Amino acid sequence: MKRSTAALAAACATTLGATGVLLMPQAEAAVQGCRVDYTVTNQWQGGFQAGVKITNLGDALSGWSLRFTFPDAGQKVAQGWNATWSQSGATATATNTDWNRALASGASADLGFTGTTTGANPVPSSFTLNGVTCTGTTGPGPTTTPTTPTTTTTTPPSGRTPLAANGQLHVCGVHLCGEANRVVQLRGMSTHGLQWFDGCYNDASLDALANDWHADLLRIAMYVQEQGYETNPPWFTARVNSLVDEAEQRGMYAVIDFHTLTPGDPNYNLDRAKTFFASVAARNAAKKNVIYEIANEPNGVSWGAIKSYAEQVIPVIRAADPDAVVIVGTRGWSSLGVSDGSNETEIVNNPVNAPNIMYTFHFYAASHKDNYRSTVSRAATKLPLFVTEFGTVSATGGGALDQSSTTAWLDLLDQLKIGYANWTYSDANESSAALKPGSCAGGNYGSGALTESGSLVKSRVSTPDDF
């Protein structure tokens, strides 16, 4: 990942480390007011993402406002989190929210934003907290400005699993973040229907997914109809729980997918959803690797009906597992409404009334192209998105692999730090499957068992994470 290489802002005696951390050297004065660590965590053409950590070194505050000025007039705050953000000219202001209003002496607040830029991405040279210039450090430091940039580690140490590196996830602004409030992009695979391909999910295949693919997550697709959950709730519930355990043991996250498709109105399964999620949330509440996806692909139904369903199911989950992230399906087969001739504005204008949630987007690369990508680019500045399912082929799950469109999609998701799961980690007789037919029965999950789609997706999933 490209990192900021802004020059030293000598006028303010600050040093920009190799990771883009603005280190404010210790001043000579004994009294310090505040410290700000500003980190450029991601950059792309025309935009960037920054994390801002405020540490109060003075008296306790009952409210705060941070102000700084961009040195490049082309830099603008686009979307911020953990504060109320505004900008006037080149000056940006972040004001506390209700929940982080109090800032005790020595306490810190983590916030951040995505921004747009017309050129370079220099780091702001000074910050003020409630009008006090932040020039202090929280511990012993040099009395003069260091001449060598300080490097800090921004990726997990070798050998650490995604779960160990990030812990309990939460939604921060429009992103998914780990316990340290660093943005997390999870990349992995979805199972096929457990009623048909349960034999594909065993120790050998999950070891391959975790150790060979280096996947961050396993999406557990539990169909409700089509010979699924409704036919044997105890068996399907137990199988989902066992796969959650298997993922946890390998350091992967698990997305529990209530895989509704036909009928398309999730309210048809409202009672089943409440029963199922009450059970799995109670059983897995102590785990840090669980994400709940409450409706796979709503279709033929309004956003209002989907929202109503979500606002009845989410409290059931929260009653048992208050901290877990919940993912809400969207209109038009989870296309943000695009496949129904709509777009994300209906969600932006009427969001689900619940915290710590994300919204689903699905695509199949050969069928869904530029207009869908444009919608995701626009929506990602306002909504937390997770691509819980995508295919490299057509929306039928068949046809030829579209490498060009798949690459364009994955490049966009990487740029926007949106997590994704590919359909499917199975040996189904369809071109969307990652494994060749018969692979699971033969216990073969290596490179020789991969389809064209599997090889392409693995080449992307297995690249090092940038947590």
DSSP string, 187-216: EEEE---HHHHGGG-SHHHHHIIIIIS--S
* Annotated catalytic residue, options 248, 344, 389, 430: 389
Asked if 138 and 34 touch (Cβ cutoff 8 Å), the reply is no
d(C-alpha 120, C-alpha 392), whole Å: 35
The continuous run of DSSP H or E covering 43 comes out as strand 34-44
* Tokens coding 422: 């590919």
Task: Indicate the angle between helix axes 370-379 and 403-416, nearest 10 degrees.
Answer: 10
The continuous run of DSSP H or E covering 397 comes out as none
* 83 φ, ψ (degrees, to nearest 5): -170, 165
d(C-alpha 323, C-alpha 356), whole Å: 8
Task: Residue 56: name the closest of 88, 100, 8, 12 by CA.
Answer: 100
* Annotated catalytic residue, options 248, 297, 346, 430: 297
Asked if 307 and 270 touch (Cβ cutoff 8 Å), the reply is no
- Is 179 assigned a catalytic role? no
The continuous run of DSSP H or E covering 229 comes out as none
- Is 297 assigned a catalytic role? yes
Q: Where are the alpha helices (DSSP H) in 321-353?
A: 331-334, 345-349
Instruction: Region of 341 please: left (phi>0), alpha (psi -120 to 50) or beta.
Output: left
Q: Cis link prior to 263 (omega < 30° from 0)?
A: yes
Task: Residue 215: name the closest of 238, 236, 185 by CA.
Answer: 185
Asked if 101 and 94 touch (Cβ cutoff 8 Å), the reply is no
Q: Which residues form the catalytic set?
A: 297, 389
